[in-house]
Structure 1
Amino acid sequence: MQDATHRISETDIQISRHCISLFLSTHSAYDLLPELGKVIALDVNLPVKQAFHILYEQGIPVAPLWDSDRGQFVGVLSALDFILILRELGNHGLNLTEEELEKHTISAWKEGKQQLCKQMDAHGRPFQRGLIHACPYDSLKDVALKILQNEVATVPIIHASSHDGSFPQLLHLASLSGILKCICRHFRHSSSSLPILQQPVCKIRLGTWVPKLGDPNGRPLAMLRPNASLSSALSLLVEARVSSIPIVDDNDLLLDTYSRSDITALAKNRAYALIHLDEMSIHQALQLGQDANFPYGFFNGHRCQMCLRSDSLQKVMERLANPGVRRIIIVEAGSKHVEGIISLSDVFRFLLG
C-alpha cells in the first residue's frame, strides 16, 4: 500500500510521459544494437535436451528459433518453455528424463504447446502464433509496446534483405531493460524535464505492494518460503503470470528470489533427470546455480536488487537498466522486510500511461 499523501501532480506526470513518449517515438531499434556482441539462435529440429543445455551454458533465458526448411525465424524458446515441459511431464507422472528430452524436438514441443496454452489461458485471450519480432527501423516506443502487449521478455530485431522477407538477419534481442537504458542515458543530465524522476517510488502508482490490513484494494504479493517445493514455485510463476517470486523467511524478510530463468540451472550435472519437483525445495534448486559458499541471494548483485520506498524513481530506473535485472524488490530499511516489487513492465506501463 502506497502513501496517499503528497502525491505528484497529474500535470507533472503528463509532462514527463510526453517527454519520454517523444524520445521513444523519435528513436529506432537501431539505437539498441551494441557495437560488439552475439545473438544465439537455435534450429527448430534440435532436441529439447540440447537446447536446455545450450541456454544454461550460454547463460541466456531465451533464444530465437530458426527453421532452415522455411528459411525463417519462427519463434523463440524461453525458460518458460522448460517450466511448462517440466509441469506437463509431471502431470503425466513422468520425470524430465534424458529419453524424454532427446526424443522431443523444439518443433514438436512448440506444436504441443499451442494446445496446452489454449487450455491454460483462462482469460480468453487468443494464443499468439508465429514470431513476435520488430524491424530495426521500428521506433523504440513501438518495440516497448510490442513487448508489453504480448507479455514477452524480449523481441528479436530482424532485418530482411529483400521485400518478400527472405534472407532475414537476426541483429539483436530487444528488451525493456535495453530501452530503459536508452531513456536513462538520454535524460541523465536533463532530469529537470522529467518532474517524476526525483519522486520517491512510494508516492507513485507503480508496482505491486504488500497490502495493509483493512485495505480492500490491495493485491497480494506472491512470496514463498525457501522450504516450499520447486513444484509450487513453478506453478506460481505460471499461474500468477509473474517472472520472479521473492523467497522470504517466516517474518517475510527477503532471502532470495526464484525466477523463470533459474529453471535452466537444472541442466547442471543433468539434475533434471535426478530430481522430483515435489521433493526438491526452492532452496535446493537455487543452490544448483549458486556458489555453495553463498547460499542466499544477498551475495549476488543481480539476483536480489533491492530499494527502499523512499528511493527515487530515477534510482530504480537506473538499476533496472542494468543487464539481467528485471525487477526491484522494495524492502524496509534495516530489516529487509518485503514491502513490494517493481518490475520493468510496471515502469513502462507507468511511463507510457
Structure 2
Amino acid sequence: MATLSPSNSPKVLKHKGSSRRRALSHLPPYPSQESHDAALNAIRSFLKATTSYDAFPVSFRLIVLDTKLSVKKALQCLLLNGVVSAPLWNSDRSRFAGMLTVLDIIHLIQYYYRTATYDYAETDVETFKLESLRDIEKKLNVEPPPLLREHPSSTLYDAAKLLIQTHARRLPLLDNDTETGHEVIVSVLTQYRLLKFISINCTKELQHLHLSLRKLKIGTYITPQQSPDGSRSYHPIATASLDSRVFDVVHMFSERSISAVPILDDDGVVLNLYETVDVITLVRTGVYQSLDLTIAEALKQRSPDFPGVVICTASDSLGTLLQLIKKRRVHRLVVVEGERGRLLGIITLSDVLRYVIGEIAIGIGEEVAEQKPADDANSPSKAPPPP
C-alpha cells in the first residue's frame, strides 16, 4: 500500500493484509496562501494556452471496439492490451458511439446476477453485443454515461472543465476526415494524463502548492456517526470488510457508480482496496460464480504485480500529491489518520482536478454539474474534511 510520508525515500511499512509505501512530503515552515494562489493561477493560465493535442504522449496506441463485437471478445481485448476502457465505433453509421469502461461490465454482471438467467451468463456473454449494454443500464435504472467528445485543438482548460462538469474520467478526442466527412477518433484524454501533464510541465508552480489537503478541502471525508445497529458508520464513503462477499461490493460499484471500496477491519483500519478491475480479473475466465467469494478469498487471486493502495494524511500537500502522480500511475488516494491508519477519507483524481480548475470556472451549481457521478468517486456526496 503506497503512501505519502516525510522520508528520504519511499519505504514499505508492514501491515496485515497489505503493504503501504510512503513517498516524499515536504511542507515549508510558513506556508503562504498568496504564493499558493499565484501558483494555482499560473497553472490555469498554462492550461488555457495549451491544447489537448499537446498532452499526447510521444508514442501511444489506441484501441477502438466495434459495437457489433461481443462483450467477451471486447473484454479479452482490454485485458490483452492492459487497458480498462476503449472508444466504441458504430460501423453501420461510421461514427463514434461512446466509451466502453469497466463499469459497463460491472452493470452487466449485476444484471445477470439479479435475473434467473445468471446460470447461463457465460453462454449469453459469448453472443451479447456491446451495442446492447445501454439496454442493461435502463433495466438496472442506472444513469448512462454521457456521450462526450472534444476536438484535439481544444484547450486543456476547456477539456478539464468538461471532464469535471460531466463527472467523467476520460474524454474522447475526435476530428473529422476532410475527404469523407466521417468522424475520426484521435485519442482519449484521461484525468490521470491531464494531471500528469501538469505535474511534468509546472514543476516550479508545484513547489508553491504547499498548503495541506485538509486546508484546501480536497476529497470526501467520513462524517462521525453510528449506524442504527450501533456499529461504526463511515458515511458517505462505501466500505467493506474481508468477510464481505464480492457481489455485495459489485452492487456498491453499480448502484453508486464508483470504482473502488476501502477494505477495513473492525477498528476502521484500512487493510486494502477492492477495485472494479479486480472483479474483471475474477470473471475473465467465465467463472461468474466466483462473485460469491469473500473479499479475502478474491484478493488471493489478485495479480502479484498489483501496484498497491496509495494512502496519505490530511496534512500532506497538494504539491506532494501532484509530484506522486508524475512518478507513478495513481487513480485515488485513501486518507488515513493515526499510527494504525484508520480511514478518514478518499481523494480521487476528480477531486484534485476540480480544485485545480476552480469551482467557479467549471460552473458548480449548473445543471450539467448536477448529474450523477460516473466511475470516479466513492460517493456522490461530499463531506467536509475534519478540522
TM-score of the pair, normalised by structure 1: 0.82
The answer to whether the 8 A contact 1:305-1:325 is kept is yes
Could you tell me which of 258, 261, 269 is aligned with 2:277?
261
CA distance in 2, matches of 1:316, 1:343: 11
C-alpha spacing 1:319/1:238, structure 2 compared with 1 (3 Å): farther
SS of residue in 2 equivalent to 1:331: strand
Shift in Å at residue 312 of structure 1? 1.4
C-alpha spacing 1:165/1:225, structure 2 compared with 1 (3 Å): farther
The answer to whether the 8 A contact 1:177-1:323 is kept is no
CA distance in 1, matches of 2:244, 2:160: 35
C-alpha spacing 1:116/1:164, structure 2 compared with 1 (3 Å): farther
Higher mean alpha-carbon deviation, 148-157 vs 136-145, is at: 148-157
SS of residue in 2 equivalent to 1:250: coil
Aligned residue number for residue 31 of structure 1: 54
CA distance in 1, matches of 2:178, 2:219: 43
CA distance in 2, matches of 1:205, 1:235: 29
User: Which runs of no fewer than 5 residues in structure 2 stay unpaired?
Assistant: 1-29, 227-233, 359-387
Q: How does 1:103-252 map to 2 (within 5 A)?
A: 103-110=127-134, 112-113=135-136, 115-116=138-139, 119-121=141-143, 131-162=147-178, 165-166=181-182, 168-191=183-206, 195=208, 197-212=209-224, 219-252=235-268
CA distance in 2, matches of 1:9, 1:181: 24
The answer to whether the 8 A contact 2:160-2:357 is kept is no
C-alpha spacing 1:32/1:116, structure 2 compared with 1 (3 Å): farther
SS of residue in 2 equivalent to 1:189: helix
Could you tell me which of 96, 109, 113 is aligned with 1:73?
96
CA distance in 2, matches of 1:321, 1:263: 27
Aligned residue number for residue 100 of structure 1: 124
Higher mean alpha-carbon deviation, 181-190 vs 137-146, is at: 181-190
The reply to whether residue 84 of structure 1 matches residue 89 of structure 2 is no
Aligned residue number for residue 296 of structure 1: none
Shift in Å at residue 333 of structure 1? 5.2
Shift in Å at residue 10 of structure 1? 7.3
SS of residue in 2 equivalent to 1:265: helix
CA distance in 1, matches of 2:328, 2:83: 11
C-alpha spacing 1:71/1:93, structure 2 compared with 1 (3 Å): same
CA distance in 1, matches of 2:50, 2:350: 20
SS of residue in 1 equivalent to 2:158: helix
Shift in Å at residue 45 of structure 1? 0.6
CA distance in 1, matches of 2:253, 2:326: 23
CA distance in 2, matches of 1:267, 1:58: 17
The reply to whether residue 280 of structure 1 matches residue 293 of structure 2 is yes
Q: How does 1:17-56 map to 2 (within 5 A)?
A: 17-56=40-79
CA distance in 1, matches of 2:127, 2:284: 20
Could you tell me which of 310, 314, 328 is aligned with 1:309?
314
The answer to whether the 8 A contact 1:32-1:179 is kept is yes
C-alpha spacing 1:101/1:288, structure 2 compared with 1 (3 Å): same
Output the amino acid matched with 1:305: V
The answer to whether the 8 A contact 1:45-1:106 is kept is yes
CA distance in 1, matches of 2:67, 2:168: 19
Output the amino acid matched with 1:143: A
CA distance in 1, matches of 2:200, 2:185: 25
CA distance in 2, matches of 1:232, 1:29: 39
C-alpha spacing 1:190/1:316, structure 2 compared with 1 (3 Å): closer
CA distance in 2, matches of 1:289, 1:170: 33
For the aligned residue pairs, the C-alpha RMSD in angstroms reads 2.8
C-alpha spacing 1:72/1:322, structure 2 compared with 1 (3 Å): farther
C-alpha spacing 1:234/1:114, structure 2 compared with 1 (3 Å): closer
Higher mean alpha-carbon deviation, 338-347 vs 328-337, is at: 328-337
The answer to whether the 8 A contact 1:320-1:328 is kept is no
Higher mean alpha-carbon deviation, 157-166 vs 175-184, is at: 157-166
The answer to whether the 8 A contact 1:330-1:340 is kept is yes
Q: Deviations over 1:78-98 (max 9, x none)?
A: 100111001111111332632
The answer to whether the 8 A contact 2:51-2:156 is kept is yes
C-alpha spacing 1:229/1:60, structure 2 compared with 1 (3 Å): same
Shift in Å at residue 321 of structure 1? 4.6
Shift in Å at residue 317 of structure 1? 1.9
The reply to whether residue 335 of structure 1 matches residue 335 of structure 2 is no
The count of aligned residue pairs is 322
Shift in Å at residue 163 of structure 1? 8.2
CA distance in 2, matches of 1:189, 1:14: 13
The answer to whether the 8 A contact 1:305-1:329 is kept is yes
CA distance in 1, matches of 2:164, 2:349: 10
The answer to whether the 8 A contact 1:52-1:267 is kept is no
Higher mean alpha-carbon deviation, 255-264 vs 174-183, is at: 255-264
Higher mean alpha-carbon deviation, 200-209 vs 330-339, is at: 330-339
